[in-house]
């Protein structure tokens, strides 16, 4: 099988590439909007295309519970048909939500037994069950089922977790997915370089179609994560996509790109939107603030999106303050456009060999925090 | 001053026309989406244009309280600029909300003193104040400030109310609006033909730019309203727009059109959307129902809108059941498209002289209630 990743350019450690799937190509580096329950919150599918989304995420845990993977396969032949999204989809394994959302969960060699956060019913997700669900969802990129311990954790605990994750990875690898599906291995090991390296090497022997860094951005300090990425990412396989799971803020993503990562996802642009936060080229802007009451400027004057071309801060502040649905719609749209424009620009600058310059300018503007 | 209404065709009592405003022409009969607080709920402004909206409503009471008419005039030069809606706008007088929303209100010859439903603060809306607010909002069609008593009411009470409404109408008429604004008189009088006729004649002497039927659909039986409209509407001035306020359900609107009314507004398509109700050519469809769980059909198979062309009942049911924002967005969009397509089709059939046929077919399909 040929690799799904093709490199286009390097600029330092940063890299631009193309990831090929049955539902189309993805130009990397790329940000992936999160469509937890078969919907990126407040966004129509055609709006996702408008803001430049090339691939979106679905959550195995949520879709398993509601409406159920069997229904999605029966009704839509998978998630693509069910939600009418024609471009690539990545599904997570359900592991993270089982640990973070379920009120009760019990870990064993077999998998995780847990209670639904919705109705308290009992369920078991094992590596095989996670693969069964993701197979039914028909995602282009499938994540293996891993354990994700909260940091800080002892090295001993992290090693145990890593060993379990590796045994589970083997069981996922042995599961037969659909022809078009690609399985990614998840590298665990906390901030320990040696553990991560060992995990990566042992996963590489199983020959996954891509590799993800899991268990970061779950409690450790930001600088620690940045430093770890700087040291580690360039040692990852060069011929496979590299995915930093659940990260994150604009500068974290840009730093990830600088270190050679290709794929990123985070609920931040849509979740913060519903709290009134615009991400802008000059830092986060909280639309609730009194200072924007009569402000006729667009949310981000350096942005060309449909929101910034049509609506003023004053108007959106009014919508937000009166609880109008349109506020969440407008801010989500802009924020996703902002993230996707950022990864698009980063790619163009990597290809042009000017990424460092782009990084510095973006960093300086973003940290100027004009709106605090 | 020339009249803003130009008739294009009659078919029985039903009529097709053109209403001209400074912000463009409105082809009547027309349904007007309600943008209570400077936003038609869940809809972007360009989406309103997509579904065929030619004029929208704003609510004086709500906009006066938040963000305030002065702010709207200062920031946007009026409501058009504030919310970036370039087509015509009609604003109500605030009267209806003062009576229905305020926890405390005191009626006097001067106007209505009331407490805000938001923070309990005291305010006074008089005919002059209502005109001042609507002048600042810059709406193309301004409604006079009337009293709207709940039905049933004694004839004596209705006459008193009508006399007050007429004195207030005179004060509104004497107020200087902006050059481009048109003032509509509101005909009150419950279901009493003689009161309504007297009210209309005395309003006509003041020469308003259009006439509205107020105080209907506020407690009386539906058949009573239908019967009243059938007898009364054709006696209204022929050279002015005729507006049935706050009505209503699809068949009520169609019956209104049949009787010669031109303009309609109602929150029903957007409010019911948020409760999971699609309006379809075969009656209301409640997407929550178990029977739609695996239904791959579009919400309304006879509809060509962006929702019905792209999403299944099964998917939208899932969105609704999990509380996804997109559910409200999709159903609102379809329902507004449905109402606006209905008035558009009605107009075409009036012009073609086939309105009765359209009415019968629509009526029979709609009352077949396939989805109950």
pLDDT at A98 (0 to 100): 87
- Give how far the C-alpha of residue B232 lies from the chain's centroid of Cα atoms, to the nearest Å: 19
Query: Which pLDDT does position B1 carry in this prediction?
Result: 55
Output the pLDDT for position B215. 86
Residue B38 tokens, joined: 């400077």
pTM: predicted TM-score of the whole model, two decimal places: 0.98
pLDDT at B27: 98
pLDDT at B220: 74
Inform me whether the pLDDT recorded for B253 exceeds 90: yes
Q: How far is CA B338 from the centre of its chain?
A: 15
The reported pLDDT for the residue numbered A1 is 55
At residue A273, does pLDDT exceed 70? yes
As beta bridge partners, residue A364 has none
What is the average pLDDT score of chain A? 95
Question: Using 50, 70 and 90 to split pLDDT, how confident is the model at A298?
Answer: very high
A300 tagged catalytic: no
| Complex ipTM value | 0.97
Substitution target in B36, B292, B324 with the highest count of A β-carbons within 10 Å is B324
- Please give the pLDDT value at position A82: 98
Instruction: Report the pLDDT averaged over residues B244-252.
Output: 94
Instruction: For B16-51, write each residue's pLDDT tens digit.
Output: 999 999 999 999 999 999 999 999 999 999 999 999
- What pLDDT is attached to residue A277? 98
Sign of the dihedral through C-alpha B354, B357, B361, B364: positive
Give A43 to chain B, closest Cα distance, Å.
6
Span(s) in chain B for CATH 3.20.20.105: 4-266
* pLDDT digits 0-9 by tens, B214-243: 988 777 778 888 899 999 999 999 999 999
Location of structure tokens 């950022």: A342
d(CA B56, CA B64) in angstroms, rounded, equals 17
Query: pLDDT by residue (tens digit) across A326-359?
Result: 999 999 999 999 999 999 999 999 999 999 999 9
Q: B64-78, B134-148, B149-163, B190-204: which range is least confident on average?
A: B149-163
Q: Which among A75, A310, A319 has the least Cβ separation from residue B314? A: A75
Instruction: Return the sign of the alpha-carbon dihedral for residues B228, B234, B237, B238.
Output: positive
Given B11, B92, B140, B341, which residue is catalytic? B92
> A interface toward B at CB cutoff 8 Å?
37-39, 41-46, 62, 66-67, 71, 74-76, 82-84, 293-294, 296, 306, 310-312, 314-315, 318-319, 321-322, 324-326, 328-330
Cα(B22)–Cα(B88) distance, integer angstroms: 8
For residue range A220-239, list pLDDT tens digits in order. Answer: 778 888 899 999 999 999 99
Question: pLDDT-based confidence at A369, cuts 50/70/90?
Answer: confident
Mean local confidence (pLDDT), B127-147:
97
Model confidence over A104-141: pLDDT tens digits?
Answer: 789 999 999 999 989 999 999 999 999 999 999 999 99
Q: Looking at per-residue confidence, does B2 or A158 come out higher?
A: A158
Q: Is A239 a catalytic residue?
A: no
Instruction: Judge whether residue B313 has pLDDT over 70.
Output: yes
Fold assignment, A4-266 = TIM Barrel (3.20.20)
Q: Which residues contact B212 (CB under 8 A, 6 or more apart)?
A: B143, B184, B185, B186, B187, B242, B243, B244, B245
Predicted pLDDT at A100: 83
Q: Do B319 and A82 touch (CB under 8 A)?
A: no
- Res. A16: pLDDT tops 90: yes
pLDDT of residue B216: 86
C-beta contacts of B347-354 below 8 A and 24+ residues apart:
B347/B16, B347/B27, B347/B28, B347/B29, B349/B11, B350/B9, B350/B10, B350/B11, B350/B14, B350/B15, B350/B16, B350/B29, B350/B257, B351/B8, B351/B9, B351/B11, B351/B16, B353/B9, B353/B11, B354/B11
**How far A216 CA sits from the closest chain B CA (Å)?**
28
Given an 8 Å threshold on Cβ–Cβ distance, is A325 in contact with B325? yes
């Amino acid at each position: 099988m040929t690799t799904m990743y093709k490199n286009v350019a390097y600029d330092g450690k940063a890299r631009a590439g193309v990831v090929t799937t049955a539902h189309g190509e993805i130009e990397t580096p790329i940000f992936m909007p999160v469509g937890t329950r078969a919907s990126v919150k407040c966004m129509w599918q055609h709006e996702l295309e408008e803001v430049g989304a090339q691939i979106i995420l679905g959550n195995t845990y949520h879709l398993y519970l509601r409406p159920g993977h069997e229904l999605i396969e029966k009704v839509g032949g998978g998630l693509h048909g069910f939600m009418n999204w024609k471009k690539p989809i990545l599904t997570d394994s359900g592991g993270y939500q089982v640990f973070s959302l379920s009120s009760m969960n019990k870990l064993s060699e077999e998998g995780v037994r847990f209670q639904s956060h919705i109705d308290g019913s009992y369920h078991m997700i094992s590596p095989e069950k996670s693969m069964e669900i993701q197979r039914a969802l028909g995602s282009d990129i499938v994540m293996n089922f891993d354990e994700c311990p909260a940091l800080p954790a002892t090295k001993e605990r992290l090693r145990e977790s890593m060993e379990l994750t590796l045994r589970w990875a083997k069981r996922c690898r042995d599961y037969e997915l659909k022809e078009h599906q690609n399985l990614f291995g998840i590298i665990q090991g906390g901030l320990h370089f040696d553990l991560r390296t060992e995990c990566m090497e042992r996963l590489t022997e199983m020959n996954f179609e891509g590799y993800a860094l899991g268990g970061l951005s779950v409690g450790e300090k930001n600088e620690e994560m940045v430093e770890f990425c700087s040291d580690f990412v360039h040692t990852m396989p060069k011929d496979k996509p590299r995915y930093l799971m659940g990260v994150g803020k604009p500068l974290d993503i840009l730093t990830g790109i600088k270190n050679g990562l290709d794929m990123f996802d985070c609920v931040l642009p849509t979740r913060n939107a519903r709290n009134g936060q615009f991400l802008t080229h000059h830092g986060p802007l909280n639309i609730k603030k009194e200072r924007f009451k009569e402000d006729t400027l667009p949310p981000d004057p350096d942005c060309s999106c449909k929101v910034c071309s049509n609506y003023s801060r004053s108007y959106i502040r009014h919508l937000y303050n009166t609880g109008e649905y349109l506020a969440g719609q407008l801010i989500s749209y802009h924020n996703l456009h902002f993230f996707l424009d950022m990864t698009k620009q980063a790619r163009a600058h990597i290809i042009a060999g000017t990424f460092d310059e782009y990084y510095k300018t973006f960093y300086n503007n973003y940290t100027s925090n004009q709106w605090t």
